[in-house]
Structure 1
Amino acid sequence: MPWKLASADLEDLARGATLLGTGGGGDPYIGRMLVERVLGDGAITVLDPDEIDDDLFVIPTAQMGAPTVMVEKIPAGTEPTQSLRILEEHVGRTAQATMPIECGGINSMIPLVVAAETGLPVVDADGMGRAFPELSMETFAVYGVNGSPLALAGERGERVIIDTGDDNRQMEWLARAITIRLGGVAHIAEYAMSGADVKRTAVPRTLSMGLSLGRAIREARQAKRSPFAAISDALSTTLYSEVRELFVGKVVDVERRTTEGFAKGVARVASGSSELEIRFQNENLIALRDGAMVAIVPDLICVLDAETAEPITTEGLRYGQRVRVIGISTPEMMRTPGALAAFGPAAFGLAEQFRPIESLVDTLVT
């Protein structure tokens, strides 16, 4: 059934969506503030993907760019809806709903900004089930929906349409170049599709899962229980049911650079003589414990505060932080050969082969 999302839910949703964003997807505080400014005392209607009409016209909306830039370059707030309107005008149809393209502190929130401004409902699903750095890395694309035409809006009123047909990688390449020239951040509407396409290609119920995760962490802390056990319990009945502890220690080094429109780098976490190395491109891609792989994309690698379980984004990593790193399994639809070709290790230039988190690590999160 449809359900209502209010301002009081946003802090929990931002926390849970940031955890699912595996280090990427944008700053949770900025994302929450953008929605709160527009929503006020109102509420947003959220639709279950299994219940929407097959002919519902859905236009996903998002922000794109390097997370390191987004922290310093706050959007005006009008760009997300502008991108939707640009695409509606181009295709000659009016959206009947919007939807996230990924999980994350900002990109789970951008469709909520659009919904609060337009009155549109939001579909409880997305195209990544986590966050990925490139627009072509979507379950939508894997299962047959084209990203083009894409509408891009800049903070000074720039309007761009990119149409590369079925070449989603070319669409990403062009959109990334334009975003860089707009200062590193832009807002987009893309992957317009029918309700039937949503049911076939989207990862279901990631908004409600993000909300339940964030709420579980908060309630566990208030009750003086382990928020890490609460994460494992909250995910146990979902498509993300395998949760493993990868490492506990102190951040001793972060190498980070903003290049080609991405935040790329390596973080190192140490405990005694043991060390965990995490390589990232906006999102965490691979974790190596003393040189041995313990988790790899598309499974989730999540860096959390060691006491509170508050998720830490890649741009938020700092020397001296005490952290607990966990791995979470992705849904089976994200582990198929087609999915791994789009957003598995080889797509990021990694030499390692994908192996499920549950086959690499025995240590359960408690």
Structure 2
Amino acid sequence: MSVSTVGSSRLYPADLDRFLRGAALLGSGGGGEAALFGARLVDQLPSDGLELVSMAEAVAAGLGTVAAVGMIGATSVLTEKLPNGNEIAGSVVAAERWCGRRIDAVMPVEAAGVNAILPVLTAAQLGLPLVDADFTGRALPRFDQLSLVVARPQLLRSATLAQPGGQLLVLDKCSPAELERAVRAYVGHSGGWAGATFGPFPLGELAGAACEGTLARALALGGWLTAEALERLDELAGAVLARGRVIEVVRSQGQQFTRSSFAVAAADGALLRIEAENEYVAAIRDGLPVATSPELICVLDRRTAEPIAVERLRFGDDVQVVALTGPPWWRAEARRLAAVGPRAFGVDLDPVLLSQPGRERDAVDPVASTGERR
């Protein structure tokens, strides 16, 4: 493997706190605790930073292949089945050995929560450029919700999984559905999670099949989110949906994931209901849907502005619920939107986008990666 300096954007050690906050926001209540790997990243990130390379820069520089990396499984078991920190780097090396091709760069599978941190760690460990693109643009739970699978499913054919004990599993020549079944069966019987490398993919074939700029957006969002910003979220965020206390929490086991429903009694007298699976999926205010996936519905601690995960939200929590514009890739076409809209999670609602024409107020997220306005 070789190092190529091809990009001008860099992630510095001083950026890590805001990067972790932004990664949590992109999790929309899911994605796992990004801070779990924060300490390890501080030790691994070079003092002069790590380059973030756009897809166009990578192709122009002649980088031929990229591996998409992250963890697969339940992030909640990371504190029980402890990682050694080298699982994903090991899976990249094994994938390279299996396919007989050099991997020129890495990118996140999902640049949100824990999976935003792990590719940065892997790029630093292997001395590879980090491509600022991913296949989700936010946290999403299923393989059929990867932009690559929606746009070019024939490219997703292989995965290399690694366990903390050094065990490796290579899956090849699979359809995306076969790959997901095999991967979930493996992690379900081997402790609940694994480091994963998908591909490698020809970089030139990913154009139009990936969400670009997600890591840069995490940095921007994290720099914006502070406790001092809570009182001006109306002007900074896509929309403030409610400020108040959680008065009801209902959890039940769904077909694949735990389903949750929360009620927030807003200070202005409104009732906000939030439907969730691994992530917050829909927000309904006084019976009217006001935001749904793929928009980012985020529940923040009202005192600290820290994002609260779905699994950690409790009765009595004093919260502020905000919505940010979702990844432009999913919003661009009806077919894409259907793959990640509320019905894809079993919630019988049409998608509600913050900038949807005809709404009383077109809310704008000033740090959206594309600055999209409608």
Report the TM-score range of the alignment, normalised by the length of the smaller protein.
0.7 to 0.9
Match of 2:233 in 1: 228
Q: Distance in 2 between matches of 1:227 and 1:183?
A: 43
User: 1:138–1:170: structure 2 CA closer, same or farther, 3 Å change rule?
Assistant: same
1:150 deviates by 0.8
Given the alignment, which residue of 259, 270, 289 partners 2:265?
270
The answer on 1:337 being equivalent to 2:334 is yes
Match of 2:3 in 1: none
The answer on 1:67 being equivalent to 2:64 is no
The answer on 1:21 being equivalent to 2:21 is no
Q: Distance in 2 between matches of 1:78 and 1:280?
A: 32
User: How many residues are matched?
Assistant: 352
User: 1:136–1:35: structure 2 CA closer, same or farther, 3 Å change rule?
Assistant: farther
Report the 3-state secondary structure (helix = DSSP H, G, I; strand = E; otherwise coil) of the residue aligned with 1:120: coil
Q: Which amino acid is 2:233 matched to?
A: F
User: 1:264–1:7: structure 2 CA closer, same or farther, 3 Å change rule?
Assistant: farther
**1:264-303 equivalences in 2 (<5 Å):** 264-271=259-266, 274-303=270-299
1:95 deviates by 1.2
TM-score normalised to the size of structure 1? 0.86
The answer on 1:247 being equivalent to 2:242 is yes
Q: Distance in 2 between matches of 1:90 and 1:259?
A: 37
Do 2:54 and 2:131's aligned partners in 1 also have CA atoms closer than 8 Å? yes
Match of 1:47 in 2: 53
TM-score normalised to the size of structure 2? 0.85
User: 1:316–1:8: structure 2 CA closer, same or farther, 3 Å change rule?
Assistant: farther
The answer on 1:305 being equivalent to 2:301 is yes
Q: Percentage identity across aligned positions?
A: 32
Do 1:68 and 1:315's aligned partners in 2 also have CA atoms closer than 8 Å? no
User: 1:215–1:93: structure 2 CA closer, same or farther, 3 Å change rule?
Assistant: same
Match of 1:154 in 2: 163
Q: Distance in 2 between matches of 1:258 and 1:74?
A: 26
- Structure 1, unmatched stretches of 5+, are 233-242
User: 1:60–1:279: structure 2 CA closer, same or farther, 3 Å change rule?
Assistant: same
Report the 3-state secondary structure (helix = DSSP H, G, I; strand = E; otherwise coil) of the residue aligned with 2:335: helix
Match of 1:195 in 2: 203
User: 1:256–1:11: structure 2 CA closer, same or farther, 3 Å change rule?
Assistant: farther
1:78 deviates by 1.4
Q: Distance in 1 between matches of 2:255 and 2:76?
A: 12
User: 1:180–1:264: structure 2 CA closer, same or farther, 3 Å change rule?
Assistant: farther
Report the 3-state secondary structure (helix = DSSP H, G, I; strand = E; otherwise coil) of the residue aligned with 2:264: strand
**1:46-94 residue CA offsets vs partner (Å, 9 max, x unmatched):** 1122322165211010012223333544322111111212221222112
**1:106-255 equivalences in 2 (<5 Å):** 106-145=114-153, 146-163=155-172, 165=174, 167-218=175-226, 221=228, 226=231, 228=233, 231-232=236-237, 243-255=238-250
Q: Distance in 2 between matches of 1:96 and 1:281?
A: 36
**1:291-325 residue CA offsets vs partner (Å, 9 max, x unmatched):** 33222222221112224432222233233221111
Report the 3-state secondary structure (helix = DSSP H, G, I; strand = E; otherwise coil) of the residue aligned with 2:105: coil
Do 2:64 and 2:203's aligned partners in 1 also have CA atoms closer than 8 Å? yes
Do 1:99 and 1:125's aligned partners in 2 also have CA atoms closer than 8 Å? yes
Q: Distance in 2 between matches of 1:29 and 1:269?
A: 27
Q: Distance in 2 between matches of 1:176 and 1:259?
A: 16
Do 1:18 and 1:103's aligned partners in 2 also have CA atoms closer than 8 Å? no
Do 1:164 and 1:170's aligned partners in 2 also have CA atoms closer than 8 Å? no
Q: Distance in 1 between matches of 2:292 and 2:52?
A: 32
Match of 2:112 in 1: 104
User: 1:227–1:94: structure 2 CA closer, same or farther, 3 Å change rule?
Assistant: farther
Do 1:245 and 1:363's aligned partners in 2 also have CA atoms closer than 8 Å? no
User: 1:84–1:327: structure 2 CA closer, same or farther, 3 Å change rule?
Assistant: same
- Structure 2, unmatched stretches of 5+, are 1-6, 366-374
Q: Distance in 2 between matches of 1:217 and 1:189?
A: 31
Do 1:102 and 1:126's aligned partners in 2 also have CA atoms closer than 8 Å? yes
**1:207-263 residue CA offsets vs partner (Å, 9 max, x unmatched):** 111112111224x73xx784625743xxxxxxxxxx122221112333446777745
Q: Distance in 2 between matches of 1:355 and 1:281?
A: 18
Do 2:281 and 2:297's aligned partners in 1 also have CA atoms closer than 8 Å? yes
Q: CA RMSD in A?
A: 2.7
Report the 3-state secondary structure (helix = DSSP H, G, I; strand = E; otherwise coil) of the residue aligned with 1:311: coil
Deviates more, 1:308-317 or 1:115-124: 308-317
